[in-house]
A = this chain, B = another copy of it.
Amino acid sequence: MEKKEKITDKKTALLDATLNLVNNHGFHKAPMSKIAKLAGVAPATIYLYFENKQDLINSLYLTVKASFSEHAFKGYEDGLPVKKGFEIIWYNIADYKLNKIDEATFLSQCDNTPIIDEAVAEEGLKHLQPLLDLWEKGRKEEIVKPLSNYILYAYTVYPLSFLLAIQEKNYYKLNDEMRQKAFQSAWDAIKI
């Protein structure tokens, strides 16, 4: 057990270091040497855990995406009424994006930049299936507008990325009341 943990330790440290550097300075200006230093490790050590820089970034992306999905569906289960289910997921995602700022910022950067290999990016898309299923159900029950999943996503989850970015730049801080209003707008946008 101890050995396995040690491995995870350094791997995690490297992923964390990468996250911070890429977030704060961009993919360029996040050299392997700095990543190593920030992780408290020698540069060559990185290559024991990752094939190369691209693999490191890809791995980080998938790791963060997985953690995101895990949070997104916390407390959610299949049988719930559409609005209730949507509410749970939306608030979960909002919590994630507005609290786990670094992770969310990194995902934003990946989604708007060609730094992630396309194949890997596609793999990251599969995580939202339960939400897509819920929307399908909502459309059938004529509670949700007959719009494609893309549009539903664009008007409910995606706006949170903007609010995150704004908050990150310290222009603004989203309190509980505003969060409720934001949810209301999301729901208004897609409900029939």
Contacts and interface: CB of A to CB of B under 8 A. Distances in A.
For the complex, would chain A's binding face be called helix, strand, loop or mixed by DSSP majority?
helix
Contact of A28 (B28, B154, B160): B28
Q: Which of A23, A28, A115, A185 has the most B CB atoms < 10 Å from its CB?
A: A185
A27 B22 CA distance: 13
B147 A185 contact: yes
**Number of this chain's copies in the complex:** 4
B155 A114 contact: no
Given A25-B114, A155-B159, A185 B190 contact: yes
11 contacts: A23-B114, A26-B115, A112-B112, A112-B161, A147-B182, A150-B163, A151-B185, A154-B166, A155-B189, A158-B162, A188-B189
Given A112-B108, A188-B188, A151 B163 contact: yes
Contact of A114 (B24, B151, B162, B185): B24
Given A159-B155, A178-B151, A188-B188, A113 B113 contact: yes
